[in-house]
Amino acid sequence: MANRRATPRLAVWKFASCDGCQLTLLDCEDEFLGLAGAVEIAYFPEATRGQLRGRYDLSLVEGSITTPHDAERIREVRRRSAHLVTIGACATAGGIQGLRNFADVREYAAVVYARPDYIATLATSTPIADHVSVDFELRGCPIAKHQLLEVITAFLAGRRPVTPAHSVCLDCKLRGNVCVMVAHGTPCLGPVTHAGCGALCPAYHRGCYGCYGPQETPNTVSLDPALEALGMDARDRRRVYRTFNAGAPAFREESDRHDP
Amino acid sequence: MPDCQRLTTDGLQALLDALRARGYRVIGPTLHDQAIVYDDIHTLDDLPAGWTDEQEAGHYRLTRRRDAALFGYAVGPHSWKRFLHPPVQRLWRARHEDDEIIVVAEPAEATRVALLGVRACELHAIAIQDRVLLGGDYRDGHYQARRRDNFIVAVNCAEAGGTCFCASMDTGPQAQHGFDLVLTELVGDGEHRFLVEAGTPEGREVLAELPASPASDAEIAAAEALLAATAASMGREMAAGDVRELLLANLEHPRWDDVASRCLTCGNCTMVCPTCFCTSEADSSDLTGTETSRSRHWDSCFTMDFSYLHGGSVRASGRARYRQWMTHKLATWHDQFGTSGCVGCGRCITWCPVGIDITEEVRAIRETRDGAPT
Ligand code: SF4
Ligand code: SF4
Ligand code: SF4
Ligand code: SF4
Ligand code: SF4
């Protein structure tokens, strides 16, 4: 539990990511106003150089590990953090940049950069938990504002955050959505996807894209024929799992099954 | 049908007006997102006139009818529990003021709600939830308040859905009790009318206010024939008589592994089931730690948290979770509440994304149980 007498120090760290999850934090401005004095927030959005100083009660880590330098830096962050929470698909599953894990990154670099030899990068993009121990993982691409607030609030109160790992379908039904898969014939990853968004896409007649990665006990193999019956060919069924959470083991295995 | 009256469509509108005049919020079937779901009804125009549904395992589509029937479809994805036992219910709030903690229980919301178009299977489902939530030593005050002031207008099913099996479960298609008024819709012969009967004193009172006339013998005979035809055209069936014993004697049957390989553990079946009542509670607090509240929300035996005890989930495998669901519905419910937990509405079959069919699972176990002819 955080020490309520001293002001808890909260730090935000960025690794390979798009900043979307940090924007969610900025979006909590109104809520944080009520918090003035309760928490001291230290942002380190681009702190890739220089010395890290001090210790932090709670570190929120965005982004994945893609360079040797970052692999070092995350160890330093861990050393300085009493609690380390990873936020978003990059930090928890390697992110969209995890697609490099399915390809040869040197080829990519040669295509994109004029002097690929200047690029110091790892062959893979990996989640933070592959490098250091993580106290809690918050899923999503991007994370949901209400869940981020829940994580911080729970930390301050010394309780476990309520971020259920069941399917999106449960939230979809709580919300009263009509199932797009059954009633509209729209393919949906909701049954295999971790809840968190409140079933946003089905509420707007779209199938779930799997932003929150695999649910606690995903059965992608059983969902597969249903997706096929709704018109997704093998290539679609491979690609639908190779997005933000391509590196999450359950999604990775499912997409690999459809390799040509 | 001794006291059977007939109403025209204008007469049905008069019923809506009478209910609203008595202060009821009227909820009934409406078209929404290509399905028939329950929502507020103000006039007959809000009802899905001329629509029906095509239901199969994992499949639901609306299609046009040839006539303008107002109730010419089976049950949709919503059930009345959405209103009587809502998905999320706050239980209390607490506030930290100086050195005091002030706890305020959420007041039970007493609403006057009329439910329009309740099917026979749903009347049974409501009776089951009454038993579960009000029948024991611990009563659910929120449910009690929401049930207290209901006016129920049932509708006899003129058509069975593709996944219905109320005839097997002895819960339909004719509404027998638990309603204030019951309607049977007759369309055809260039006429559109409703036979109506009262089931309670308040139902009689309301009926007396409506422009009704006595139903003819021919109309009563037509309604009876319609119900017989519905009972004979169920999309599914289940031999329910000994299903409790069958399942409890086959807890290690290989079929549980087979269904587990197909089951997504998504929980849709429990969410749409009109009798499933399980909830979990969760606390939320504000950033400063001065306010906190506890809510309960629908939960499902398909989640890992549902059976989490110290150190892990008791039902970690999909096999254990599917078996829990099905044996609870069809077997142990009898021990707990004295009836089956299944009313044969077919929702769990239709709304399972991979079309797992509870009647098919029972049949598979029956046909290959120990000692079954092979
Ligand atoms: S729309 Fe998708 S998330 Fe919602 S219940 Fe259907 S399959 Fe599940
Ligand atoms: S188990 Fe299925 S068929 Fe039976 S009442 Fe529940 S949803 Fe309806
Ligand atoms: S089947 Fe599962 S969710 Fe439904 S009432 Fe039983 S334990 Fe609860
Ligand atoms: S199960 Fe029976 S009562 Fe329920 S909708 Fe189907 S036919 Fe009607
Ligand atoms: S039986 Fe169907 S609806 Fe129920 S949890 Fe399994 S896959 Fe989901």
| Mean pLDDT along residues A243-257 | 97
Q: Any idea which of A111-115, A241-245, B181-185 has the lowest mean pLDDT?
A: A111-115
- The type of residue at A46 is E
Give the strands of the sheet with B291-298, arranged side by side: B100-105, B88-97, B291-298, B279-285
Res. A192: pLDDT tops 50: yes
The residue count for chain A: 260
pLDDT at A52: 66
Q: The tokens 């929404």 sit on which residue?
A: B32
- Distance CA(B277)–CA(B300), nearest Å, equals 9
Q: Is A173 in Cβ contact with B267 (below 8 Å)? A: yes
Half-sphere exposure of A215 (CA within 13 A, CB side): 30
Which atom of ligand 4 is least distant from the CA of B345? Answer: 1
Instruction: List chain B residues with CB under 8 Å of A218.
Output: 264
Model pLDDT for residues B298-315, shown as the tens digit of each residue? 999 999 999 999 889 999
Inter-chain contact A157–B263, Cβ cutoff 8 Å? no
Residue A217 in tokens: 């006990």
Distance B217 CA to ligand 3 centre (A): 45
- Please, is B161 exposed, middle or buried when counting C-beta atoms within 10 Å of its C-beta (0-12, 13-18, 19+)? buried
Omega before residue A142 within 30° of 0, cis? yes
| pLDDT of res. A1 | 43
| pLDDT, average across residues B164-171 | 98
For residue A101, give both structure tokens: 């894990």
Look up residue B56 and give its amino acid: E
Q: What residues does each domain of chain B span?
A: 5-232, 243-371
Contact criterion met (CB below 8 Å) for A143 and A87: yes
A3 pLDDT band, cuts 50/70/90, is very low
Residue B156: phi and psi, rounded to 5, are -75, 140
Query: Cα separation of A246 and A166, whole Å?
Result: 19
Q: Is B249 helix (H, G, I), strand (E, B) or coil?
A: coil
Mutate to test the pocket of ligand 4, among B80, B121, B174, B226 (most ligand atoms within 8 A of CB): B121
Whole-number Å distance between alpha carbons of A26 and B17 = 51
Q: Quote the pLDDT of residue A162.
A: 94
Chain A residue with CA closest to B89: the answer is A174
Q: Of the candidates A165, A175, A191, which has its C-beta nearest B353's C-beta? A: A191
Q: What percent of chain B has pLDDT over 90?
A: 92
Taking the Cβ of residue A34 and every Cβ of chain B, the question of whether any pair is shorter than 8 Å is answered with yes
Any alpha helices (H) in chain B, and if so which ranges? 9-21, 81-84, 120-134, 141-148, 166-169, 201-208, 217-232, 243-248, 255-262, 268-272, 318-327, 333-337, 347-350, 358-368
Looking from the CA of residue B330, the nearest atom of ligand 2 is 1
Q: Is the CB of A206 inside 8 Å of chain B's CB atoms?
A: no
> Which of A204, A188, A229 has its CA nearest to residue B268?
A188
Residue B373 reports pLDDT greater than 60: no
Instruction: Read off the pLDDT of each residue in B211-229 and give the average, rounded to a whole number.
Output: 96
Q: What is the pLDDT of residues B229-239, one digit of tens each?
A: 999 999 999 99
Work out the average pLDDT over B148-177.
Answer: 97
Average pLDDT over residues A23-51: 72
Q: How confident is the model at residue B84 (pLDDT cuts 50, 70, 90)?
A: very high
**Rounded Cα–Cα distance for residues A149 and A162 (Å):** 11
B153 within 8 A of B183, measured Cβ to Cβ: yes
Nearest CA in chain B to A185: B59
Output the pLDDT for position A168: 98
Interface touch A183/B61, C-beta < 8 Å:
yes
Backbone angle region of A255, left / alpha / beta, with phi > 0 → left and psi within -120 to 50 → alpha: alpha
C-alpha B166 to ligand 2 mean position (Å): 10
Contacts of A38 in chain B (CB under 8 A): 287-288
pLDDT in tens, A240-249: 999 999 999 9
How far does the CA of residue B268 sit from the closest CA of chain A (Å)?
6
Question: Per the structure block, which two tokens stand in for B125?
Answer: 């489902």
Closest partner CB to B287 (pick from A149, A162, A179):
A149
Q: Which of A196, A63, A88, A206 is nearest to A142 (CA)?
A: A88
Sort out which chain B residues have CB atoms less than 8 A from A156's CB and list them.
Answer: 287, 289
Residue A37 forms contact with B (CB below 8 Å): no
The verdict on the CB of residue B125 being under 6 Å from ligand 3 is no
Distances (CA, A) of A56 to A13, A32, B37, B289: 11, 18, 50, 20
From residue B39, alpha-carbon distances to B25, B74, B246 in Å are 10, 16, 39
**pLDDT confidence tier of residue B193, bands split at 50, 70 and 90:** very high
The pTM score is 0.95
Structural domains of chain A in order of their starting residue, each with its CATH number? 9-157 (3.40.50.700), 168-255 (no CATH)
| Residue A45 near residue A69 (C-beta atoms within 8 A) | no
CA of A41 to the centre of ligand 1 (A): 38
The model's confidence at residue A46, banded by pLDDT at 50, 70 and 90, is low
Angle between helices B358-368 and B255-262 (to 10 degrees): 150
Interface membership of B298 toward A (CB under 8 Å): yes
Mean pLDDT value across residues A182-211: 97
- Whether the complex's predicted ipTM is more than 0.85 is answered with yes
pLDDT for A5 beyond 70? no
Residues A84-111, mean pLDDT to the nearest whole number: 90
Give yes or no for residue B15 having a pLDDT over 80. yes
The model's confidence at residue B372, banded by pLDDT at 50, 70 and 90, is low
Instruction: Work out the average pLDDT over B271-284.
Output: 97
Beta bridge partners of B20: none
Q: What is the pLDDT of residue B278?
A: 98
Kindly indicate the confidence band of residue A103, based on its pLDDT and cuts at 50, 70 and 90. Answer: confident
Mean pLDDT of A9-30: 88
- Distance of alpha carbon B57 from alpha carbon B253, whole angstroms: 23
A35, A159, A216 member nearest B288 (Cβ): A35
